Structure 1
Amino acid sequence: MKFSWTMLNYFINLESITFEKFIKQLTLAGFEVEDIEEHPEISDKIIDLAITANRKEIFCIINLAQEMTSIFNLPLQINLKPIEPLAKKIRYNFINTSKQFLYIKIHTIIHLSNNKSPKWLQNHLIGCNIRPSFLLHDIQEYIKIKWGHKVLICDLDKLNIKSINFSLIKISKNSNLNRLEKVIYNNKDLFSLDATNVHNTNNTFNQKTSNIILCCFINNIDENNLFNSYETFNNAYIETIRLITTYCSGVINKSYESYKKIIKDYKKLQIQKNEIKFTLGPIGNKKNKYLSNRDILKTLNRLKFRPSYSYNHKIFEITIPKYREHDLSRNIDIIEEIGRVYGFKYFLNKLPKYSRKGKISVKSFYIKKIYQTLLNIGFNESINSSLTENEICNNHCLKIYNPITEEQNSLRINIAKNLIENYRLSIKQKELKTEIFEIGNIFYKNKQNAYNEAIHLAGIINNTQFSRKDWYSESNKLTWFHAKGVLEFILDILQANIQWNKELEEKDNTIIGNITDYLDPNEQIFVYSKNSNKLIGVFGKLKKQYIYDIDQQNITTYLFELNVQYLIKTIHFNKHINHIIKPYSLYPSVSRDISIQISKYSNIKQIKKIILAKDRNLIEYIEIINEYYNKITKIKSICLRIIYRSPSRTLNHTDLVNIDNHIKQLLIK
């Protein structure tokens, strides 16, 4: 929408503000300036603003000027003259049956003698991309862009009526507001005004019009500008009459008006003082300085919110203007208005630091840990769709009723099938790293025909250069024990309490059991929970039939799939640590090696307990360095190394004598 800089200065004195500063402040206040048009021929500048949906009340100069009074804290240069019918008794001179008209004023103006618009009026219209026509038309457009009011002007000469009985004029909702036409009502001349198309401005007069009917009105179609219209109506009406009489030299007859009483039911909001302060944050670089109550009240008054403050409850109560109810409905809206008018640049622009962290579920925590563990040991993540074409579809499979394609006619009951396809594609593309995994959902039906969803982890392990004995030796392929060790390493990091079982029990031949169709029956093993003995997953060697066309180097590939939810239940998290933490001693140690004979069934823990019985403070640790068992005599000999060290001093001669005596006593025992 385009606004004239000259017309804006008519309402508010902007001489102390440069045009550049005005545009900058306008942008900071939330009004996007799309373009600035220079018109040296009319000595004016046109500002093209992008009016957002929440500020649709800014559609004329007076409304923009009132917004500028809040932003720049400057007063209007004119006095608004609100309508006063609510305070005076006015006789109804005509019948008003339309529910859309809230206030209407009609009178005739005769003997118009001039139809040419003055130059300044034409310049204002040209600046707003409105083509000047003739005086009455130009006055209509000028009042519309300046005050936001629409003036209806009708040609009396076309009606062929010498006099009008206004007591018979009926304002109805079923006739045409944009023209006065003669109708018959109770055998009398009646003129009807319609409210169905009040936004149209088709003229019913031409340049030769000398007698007109002037109709000014307020309707309730645009409720957002309703009370703003009451405040500016008289100003728009007076200027319309002044322009017509000044440049047309007409004679104005008595006016007739009618109105509907409106109850001004204003919306009110209550906002806590701390809510405003802590939402906007501190001012400048001072962390503990916030907006004062005085500054908040001053800003709310600039916004015409008529605020009041309760010192006992520390609450601001504000009244929302009627024309702002469409975009100010929450406390945060008012806080944003305070920040916008006061200036967001004055507030500290740093995000607050919160020491409290959000909560995460146990399942999400361990899924993230599994994901990070696999990435850390060199796996690559694969992501596949849950829609697939199940080759193995039994009673557990879920078919889609109306699939888009035959390749996606079912919901997957395992992740293994998708990973095998990913693996085959990687080999064909000569990818060196083929260790891949996926964590995703599977879907199945149980024996009760109930639909279930579970989270599974599946992975493929294969490496032709897994280990090397020496730097000059050839690399060795991944073996069964290597692959199983990788899976065990993952489970150890998770602290999963599991056990291995070569046989699959008949009761467990369900979803995990179906994955065995992809594995070599002679090289597979199952993962069970140690506590509940519940099947968790399966590990084994992939059948050759799935990789026969890409197996050019006799590749051995291993596959595993685990139920993540069952796996998490086996994890026992130790909240207490049994280790004793103490600093290292900086003093030298003394070691003694002793060889003792014990029976085959002697307990080494009992032997350590006997050794530590006396010099516990000086003995740092005990270790077995050798062991020999005589099958004939059935006597076991072990060699123990005892390390003596003091944490606070160097061991002296007396300490060494005591240590030797201690060793002799141990040998005697």
Structure 2
Amino acid sequence: MKFSWNILNNFINLELINFQKFIEQITLAGFEIETIEENKKINDKIINLSITANRKEIYCVFNLAQEMSSILNEPLKISIQSYHQNNQYKIKSNVTKFKFIEYIKINTIHNIQNKESPVWLQNNLEAYEIQPINLLHDIEKYIELKWGHSVQIIDLHNLKIQLIDNKFIIVNKSNRTQNTEQILYNNEEIINITNKNIENKFATKTSKTKNIIICHIIYKQNNIDNSQYTFNNANEDTIKLITTFGKGVINKSYHHNIFNIENKKLRIGARKIKYILGPITQYKLKFLSNKDILKTLKQLKLEPQFLKEKKIFNTVIPKYRQHDLQRDIDIIEEIGRIYGFKKFVDDIPKYENKGKMSLKKIYLKKVSNILIDIGLDEVMNSSLTKNFKNQETIKIYNEITEEQKILRINILDNLIKNYNHYSVNEKKLKTEIFEIGKIFYKNNLIEYIEEKHLGILIKNDHYFKKNWSNKPENLEWFHAKGIIETLLKKLNIKNIIWSNEINNNLNESLITVLKYIKRDKKLFIYKKKSKHIIGVLGELKKIYNNTREKQNKKLYVCEINLKDLMMSVYFEKHLNYHIKPYSLYPSVHRDISINTKQSINSIKNIILKNNINLIESIQTINEYYNKKDNSKSICLRFTYRSINKTLNKQDITNINKHIENVLLQLNSTIE
């Protein structure tokens, strides 16, 4: 919405305010500036603001000036007049039956000279790209821009007077544009005025100069404007302009007041304000003081009162702000906006305590990472789909689209659609994808089941070479099976067997997968103990491959129940590790050849038991077996090392002698 800088200056003193500072302040206050136009011809700046949905009351220059008065903490140049004046007569009428009317005021002015409007008034209209016509027309438009009031000026010479049951009828436009309330005198909105004095005034005979009626009606606006507060200001401004430049004579006013102004009250704790807005300094954690909060609430014209004992602020919400200031959090936001959000510390708080991740989620993430490391790409599809032919499914109520009306019963259907779509469009030679997602089905007991499944689709035309000089060949059956076995091995899953025979322990959800797989090209993954099937691997039927590839291009698919898969994970509870200090001193190696009939392990154990703290390890290098006398010739490598010193020549000699004595006791000889 466009606003004139010159008209805005009529309400608030902007001469001492730098224009760039004004733009910065209004932007920080939450008003987005779309454009700024400078009209050198009329020496004015036009500011085009984007008004958000929660600030509908900013529709005229006065309302913007009132907002800027709060933001800049500058007083308004004018004072708001009361609703009634002494020279007004009250209309006795039955307008109360029109619930949409709040206030009516009527003035008659005689002997108007409807000439050209003054230059300053024309310039203000040209700032809004409104073409000036004559004085009365220009005043109507100017008052609407300045105050937000749509005053209707009616020429008595052209007014068709109707008398119904001795009652005079006049009809006026609404305050603002409401398409259902814009008819002047077509009997759609009728205000019956029975006062004969007013009737006689309206029935004045025509004269050379114009006699006009200024008829002003305010309609209820769902509490989104403050027109009732500025009604008399706008009306007085209208009359002043007409009588000053049109040289007219004004009669007394007539009004009917049915205003029902009820200001809403809100209470908010000082502690809550400080907690939500946060500190204003980073190191000492200094918060907004009660004095500053009270000052800011006064700037917002909320008539605040601070209860020191209870540490609570009482605020009064005016009617024109009740549409967006309804909760205490709205008041807190206004305090931050006016005080300045940039003055508060905006650092994100640090949380050292990390949330715990469930064991199920850990393994789901591990499955995904293993498959990605192998070379597969993860895809994500919606659990809602169009249909599954010849299969019982779960339908949803009030579906969003025809394409998403049932819950999927397996993962493979979406993977096949992914392959057919992307392979046709992109002509990929390699498609190795997987998805971890939810499936839904009804079991034999007609219970609704929700499970997590893993679906895999593999196809690769250039998977391996038998020789470096040969062309790459397609991925085959055993390669696909090897990928699944690699996954099971890395997950440390044991007690799993493969079989091409099916039993009665096949899960209902996996039965739907069999229709995609060739009969003679499938394998079931069994739990060894329970004989329960947890997954299916097989070659995809050609009817589901819509890419029209050659017959030797094979696709392999697999679907696994992740809950059953995780139940098969083997957890190692004990680790065969020995902890001992590590020596910082160098080691010495000696190789010894031995002829013996003892086993190698028995020789090692006997040597290590007898002293020998300086022997760090014994390794077997080679072994020769003589069948004639059942003897062995072995070569052992001894590593000597001390934990607290460097070994000298004497230490090594003592170790060697000790080893010789042990071997002699075992009837073994050293070569």
TM tier, shorter chain? 0.7 to 0.9
Q: Does residue 47 of the first structure (1) align with residue 47 of the second (2)?
A: yes
Q: Does residue 15 of the first structure (1) align with residue 15 of the second (2)?
A: yes
Contact 1:154 1:203 in 2 (8 A): no
Contact 2:175 2:219 in 1 (8 A): no
Amino acid corresponding to residue 533 of structure 2 in structure 1:
L
- For 1:454-500, what per-residue CA distance to the aligned partner results, in whole angstroms no more than 9, with x for missing partners? 4233243768664779x899999978776554433322322334421
Contact 2:506 2:533 in 1 (8 A): no
- The equivalent of 1:375 in structure 2 is 372
- The equivalent of 1:68 in structure 2 is 68
Distance 1:183 1:638, change over 3 A: farther
Residue 63 of structure 1: CA displacement?
A: 0.9
- The equivalent of 1:254 in structure 2 is 252
Distance 1:286 1:94, change over 3 A: same
Q: What is the alpha-carbon distance in structure 2 between the residues aligned to residue 622 and residue 630 of structure 1? A: 23
Distance 1:437 1:126, change over 3 A: closer
- For 1:316-364, what per-residue CA distance to the aligned partner results, in whole angstroms no more than 9, with x for missing partners? 5443332122223344433433333333444455544444445555444
Secondary structure of 1:234 counterpart:
helix
- For 1:81-131, what per-residue CA distance to the aligned partner results, in whole angstroms no more than 9, with x for missing partners? 23369xx9x985412423333333334333445644333223322322333
Distance 1:34 1:63, change over 3 A: same
- The equivalent of 1:661 in structure 2 is 658
Residue 268 of structure 1: CA displacement?
A: 1.4
Amino acid corresponding to residue 184 of structure 1 in structure 2:
I
Amino acid corresponding to residue 650 of structure 1 in structure 2:
T
Q: What is the alpha-carbon distance in structure 2 between the residues aligned to residue 440 and residue 124 of structure 1? A: 64
Distance 1:630 1:332, change over 3 A: farther
- The equivalent of 2:223 in structure 1 is 223
Q: What is the alpha-carbon distance in structure 2 between the residues aligned to residue 196 and residue 405 of structure 1? A: 46
Q: In structure 1, which of residues 229, 235, 246 is the aligned counterpart of residue 233 of structure 2?
A: 235
Contact 2:136 2:242 in 1 (8 A): yes
Q: What is the alpha-carbon distance in structure 2 between the residues aligned to residue 279 and residue 425 of structure 1? A: 51
Residue 64 of structure 1: CA displacement?
A: 1.0
Secondary structure of 2:456 counterpart:
strand
Q: Does residue 327 of the first structure (1) align with residue 307 of the second (2)?
A: no
Residue 513 of structure 1: CA displacement?
A: 6.4
Residue 65 of structure 1: CA displacement?
A: 0.9
- In the TM superposition, what are the counterparts of 1:587-626 in structure 2 within 5 Å? 587-590=585-588, 597=597, 613=609, 615=611, 618=614, 620-621=616-617
Count of residue correspondences: 631
Identity %: 45
Q: Does residue 647 of the first structure (1) align with residue 666 of the second (2)?
A: no
- The equivalent of 2:31 in structure 1 is 31
Amino acid corresponding to residue 14 of structure 1 in structure 2:
L
Q: In structure 2, which of residues 334, 339, 350 is the aligned counterpart of residue 342 of structure 1?
A: 339
Q: In structure 2, which of residues 488, 491, 500 is the aligned counterpart of residue 491 of structure 1?
A: 488
- The equivalent of 2:6 in structure 1 is 6
- The equivalent of 2:92 in structure 1 is 94
> When the two structures are superposed, what TM-score results if normalisation uses the length of structure 2?
0.75
Q: In structure 2, which of residues 168, 176, 180 is the aligned counterpart of residue 190 of structure 1?
A: 168
- In the TM superposition, what are the counterparts of 1:448-487 in structure 2 within 5 Å? 448=445, 452-454=449-451, 455-460=453-458, 466=464, 484-487=481-484
- The equivalent of 2:196 in structure 1 is none
Distance 1:612 1:335, change over 3 A: farther
- The equivalent of 1:125 in structure 2 is 125
Q: What is the alpha-carbon distance in structure 2 between the residues aligned to residue 421 and residue 152 of structure 1? A: 66
Q: What is the alpha-carbon distance in structure 1 between the residues aligned to residue 129 and residue 425 of structure 2? A: 67
Contact 1:66 1:76 in 2 (8 A): yes
Contact 2:517 2:538 in 1 (8 A): yes
- In the TM superposition, what are the counterparts of 1:489-568 in structure 2 within 5 Å? 489-502=486-499, 504=501, 506-510=503-507, 512=510, 525-529=523-527, 533-539=531-537, 560-568=558-566
Q: What is the alpha-carbon distance in structure 2 between the residues aligned to residue 667 and residue 150 of structure 1? A: 122
Q: Does residue 437 of the first structure (1) align with residue 434 of the second (2)?
A: yes
Q: What is the alpha-carbon distance in structure 1 between the residues aligned to residue 420 and residue 222 of structure 2? A: 65
Contact 2:268 2:312 in 1 (8 A): yes
Distance 1:304 1:668, change over 3 A: farther
Q: What is the alpha-carbon distance in structure 1 between the residues aligned to residue 155 and residue 418 of structure 2? A: 83
Residue 533 of structure 1: CA displacement?
A: 4.6
- The equivalent of 1:164 in structure 2 is none
- The equivalent of 1:307 in structure 2 is 304
- The equivalent of 1:586 in structure 2 is 584
Contact 2:274 2:287 in 1 (8 A): no
Contact 1:267 1:325 in 2 (8 A): no
Q: What is the alpha-carbon distance in structure 1 between the residues aligned to residue 489 and residue 652 of structure 2? A: 44
Secondary structure of 2:458 counterpart:
strand
Is 659-668 or 370-379 further displaced after alignment?
A: 659-668
- The equivalent of 2:134 in structure 1 is 134
Q: Does residue 151 of the first structure (1) align with residue 151 of the second (2)?
A: yes
Contact 1:500 1:525 in 2 (8 A): no
Distance 1:418 1:83, change over 3 A: closer
Contact 2:107 2:215 in 1 (8 A): yes
Residue 134 of structure 1: CA displacement?
A: 3.1
Amino acid corresponding to residue 61 of structure 2 in structure 1:
I
Residue 530 of structure 1: CA displacement?
A: 5.4
Distance 1:498 1:73, change over 3 A: farther
Q: What is the alpha-carbon distance in structure 1 between the residues aligned to residue 441 and residue 316 of structure 2? A: 59
Q: What is the alpha-carbon distance in structure 2 between the residues aligned to residue 125 and residue 641 of structure 1? A: 105
Q: Note the residue ranges of structure 2 that are not aligned, 5 or more in a row.
A: 186-201, 667-671
- For 1:558-593, what per-residue CA distance to the aligned partner results, in whole angstroms no more than 9, with x for missing partners? 654322222123235668866456664332335676
- The equivalent of 1:173 in structure 2 is none
Distance 1:626 1:258, change over 3 A: same
Q: What is the alpha-carbon distance in structure 1 between the residues aligned to residue 459 and residue 647 of structure 2? A: 54
- For 1:295-315, what per-residue CA distance to the aligned partner results, in whole angstroms no more than 9, with x for missing partners? 333333222233344566655
Distance 1:371 1:209, change over 3 A: farther
Q: What is the alpha-carbon distance in structure 2 between the residues aligned to residue 5 and residue 427 of structure 1? A: 61
Residue 15 of structure 1: CA displacement?
A: 1.1
Is 444-453 or 246-255 further displaced after alignment?
A: 444-453
Q: What is the alpha-carbon distance in structure 1 between the residues aligned to residue 57 and residue 33 of structure 2? A: 17
Residue 10 of structure 1: CA displacement?
A: 1.4
Q: What is the alpha-carbon distance in structure 2 between the residues aligned to residue 477 and residue 101 of structure 1? A: 82
Residue 264 of structure 1: CA displacement?
A: 1.9
Distance 1:622 1:558, change over 3 A: farther
Contact 1:155 1:209 in 2 (8 A): no
Residue 62 of structure 1: CA displacement?
A: 1.2
- The equivalent of 2:81 in structure 1 is 81
Amino acid corresponding to residue 241 of structure 2 in structure 1:
L
Residue 68 of structure 1: CA displacement?
A: 1.2
Contact 2:588 2:641 in 1 (8 A): yes
- In the TM superposition, what are the counterparts of 1:197-208 in structure 2 within 5 Å? 199=177
Q: Note the residue ranges of structure 1 that are not aligned, 5 or more in a row.
A: 160-179
Q: What is the alpha-carbon distance in structure 2 between the residues aligned to residue 151 and residue 512 of structure 1? A: 76
Residue 57 of structure 1: CA displacement?
A: 0.8
Q: What is the alpha-carbon distance in structure 1 between the residues aligned to residue 288 and residue 43 of structure 2? A: 42
